[in-house]
Chain A
Amino acid sequence: MEKTKELLYRPIIGMELHVELKTESKMFCSCKGDYFGREPNTEVCPVCLGLPGALPYPNSKAIEWCIMLGLALDCDINKESYFERKNYFYPDLPKGYQISQYKKPFCQGGKLILSTDKKIRINRVHQEEDTGKLTHAKDVTLIDFNRSGVPLVEIVTEPDFTSTEEIKEYAEKIQRIVRAIGVSDADMEKGTMRLEPTVNLEIREGEKLFFTPLVELKNINSFRFAKKAVEYEIKRQLEEFRKNRTVKTTGNKTTRGYDEDSDTTFPQREKEEANDYRYFPEPDIPIFYFSNEKIAGLKEKIPELPEERQKRLVEKYGLTTAQATFLGSSKEKASFFEKAVEEARKQLDALKALVTGSTKSNGESQMEIYRLVANWLINSKVDINIISPEQFVKENLERRKIQAFSKEELGALVKRVIDENQKAAGDYTNGKIEALGFLIGRVKGIEKNADAEAIKRTIIELLAEKNN
């Protein structure tokens, strides 16, 4: 509970998150799903324009992707489920209802674990269709239906968030998961991922507990704005409560939009009678039964998710959490890293053989190599789409070959050179500085990439030891 002037309060936040799927065709018709940059009203047909007599026909891939998302979020898949009609009037909704899911969504009851180990409960992951796009001009509103009918997945959480940091982490994690499965760009700015947090406050005043009215926030198009909108809303509700002491009742939930310019939220015009959607089973679409085999098959299709990948990088390669988070954030990066590790192992073995005559190395030094490669990747600005893992390792080895020598390995090489050049070593000990240059030169003669500074240091140390 945060404390502000005698009032103890705790934000209660739930989240509805929409993801637009990048299927080739729309949810219930064969129009193109990709509407970006198209001429208005060119990607529409009788179905998504809501013409008389047109009927929906579900897209199998969209349904599979919805279920895969549900599975990735640890949901139960309903063996039997169906679409329902959500009835309301709005100019962007051509049929006067949205085909959505209500009583029996495809996926229910999942969870997502945050980095703090906090569990965010997921109520449902369901499928629906997008609406047309409204453009507001001076006295008129213009409608383009290209977006109408594009498949959407809605992920609804329980009101489990208590801070804006949690919201941001949750949304970022969902984005990574969605991208990992490859079902959507999940781009907040393009609107292919949309966040709608619902916010209210639990306020303690002495022994008494109050809850402020629920507010759903819209028009949020970046993670940063999500955080700012909710922060503003918490402040606003606290003020409001101080002033009016209004508390939550059934039916006093409102919708507010976020205005990024003023960094405030403002009340949105309520859709008339918006709270009675008169859901009923969509009669135009037969119900769905999903067998255990079907569900298991879809589970197998889910690629490794970022969280799992990061965990594996830590366990298998001994990377630090920071390294694993960076490299595990995308499939491409992680796979490049793993290939680079393979290459490094090959090339390092060759190198070591040259130095010590042995290819054996213990587990500990293997981990060293992995971390080294990880750091190369993290610190370099290399474009992994252009360079091959092999070339990448080779270049780094060339550039920083000395780092490939362990202290012992370099020590052994220097010792060999000293033993072979007793006279020069004696000269140096006796104050003949030029002799050091000669010794360095001999070491470099054997291994031209060895770092001169490190060789110098090692020679000095070894000779000092010898003479003590």
Chain B
Amino acid sequence: MEKKQIAKKSLTKEEVEHIARLAKLTLTSKEVERFREQLSEILGYIEILNELENRKGNNKDQKHDLVNVTREDRAETSLDQKDVLSQTKEKSENMFKVKAIFE
């Protein structure tokens, strides 16, 4: 069940580790503890938004009146393969290379 109310939030070590995995960040145990404290403090500050509960407002992310922005279906020249591959050393047969992923 989604919580609509921001609960008084003090993050646990496990939560911080879970978030780090979601974000593909590897944290040292020191970092976990530091972020746990700092993020909890920031989340504490954010609790002020609870005062907004039950007030009107929609949840659309609209920055301005712009709608239906599209382009015509026309192909143009792409980047040179040389440029595409220029910023990595890990390549082979004109492809990017990572260590084996088994599907």
**Touch A–B, Cβ below 8 Å:** yes
* Stretch from B3-11, B26-34, B70-78 at the A interface: B70-78
Cβ of B84 and Cβ of A59 under 8 Å apart? no
Contact of A141 among B69, B75, B94, B99 (CB under 8 A): B99
* Stretch from A6-14, A233-241, A267-275 at the B interface: A267-275
Interface residues on B, range: 35 or more
Cβ of B92 and Cβ of A142 under 8 Å apart? yes
Residues of chain A within 8 A (CB-CB) of B74 are 24-25, 30
Task: List B residues 70-103 near A (Cβ within 8 Å).
Answer: 70-76, 78-79, 81, 84-85, 92-103
For the complex formed, measure the closest distance between the CB of B51 and the CB atoms of chain A, giving whole angstroms. Answer: 23
* B62: interface (CB < 8 Å): yes
* B22: interface (CB < 8 Å): yes
Cβ of B97 and Cβ of A43 under 8 Å apart? no
* A44: interface (CB < 8 Å): yes
Interface residues on A, range: 35 or more
* A40: interface (CB < 8 Å): yes
* Stretch from A220-228, A284-292, A361-369, A378-386 at the B interface: A284-292
* B14: interface (CB < 8 Å): no
The residue of chain A having its C-beta at the shortest distance from the C-beta of B73 within the complex is: A61
**Interchain CA distance A59-B76 in the complex, whole Å:** 13
For the complex formed, measure the closest distance between the CB of B90 and the CB atoms of chain A, giving whole angstroms. Answer: 9
Contact of B94 among A24, A41, A60 (CB under 8 A): A41
* B56: interface (CB < 8 Å): no
Given contacts A287-B60, A287-B67, A288-B68, whether A269 and B73 have CB atoms under 8 Å apart is no
* B21: interface (CB < 8 Å): yes
Binary flags per residue of A445-464, CB closer than 8 Å to B gives 1, else 0: 00000000000000000000
The residue of chain B having its C-beta at the shortest distance from the C-beta of A41 within the complex is: B84
Cβ of B78 and Cβ of A45 under 8 Å apart? yes
The residue of chain B having its C-beta at the shortest distance from the C-beta of A49 within the complex is: B84
Binary flags per residue of A243-276, CB closer than 8 Å to B gives 1, else 0: 0000000000000010000000000110011001
Residues of chain A within 8 A (CB-CB) of B100 are 136-141
**Interchain CA distance A24-B71 in the complex, whole Å:** 12
Contact of A59 among B60, B73, B78, B81 (CB under 8 A): B73
Residues of chain B within 8 A (CB-CB) of A57 are 69-71
Cβ of A58 and Cβ of B70 under 8 Å apart? yes
* A152: interface (CB < 8 Å): no
Given contacts A136-B102, A141-B98, whether A286 and B78 have CB atoms under 8 Å apart is no
> Can you list 12 A-B contacts (CB < 8 A)?
A24-B74, A24-B75, A25-B76, A42-B81, A44-B78, A44-B79, A58-B69, A60-B72, A89-B24, A141-B97, A143-B97, A144-B95
**9 more CB-based (< 8 A) A-B contacts, given A39-B94, A91-B98:** A25-B73, A32-B75, A57-B69, A62-B73, A140-B100, A142-B97, A143-B95, A268-B103, A287-B62
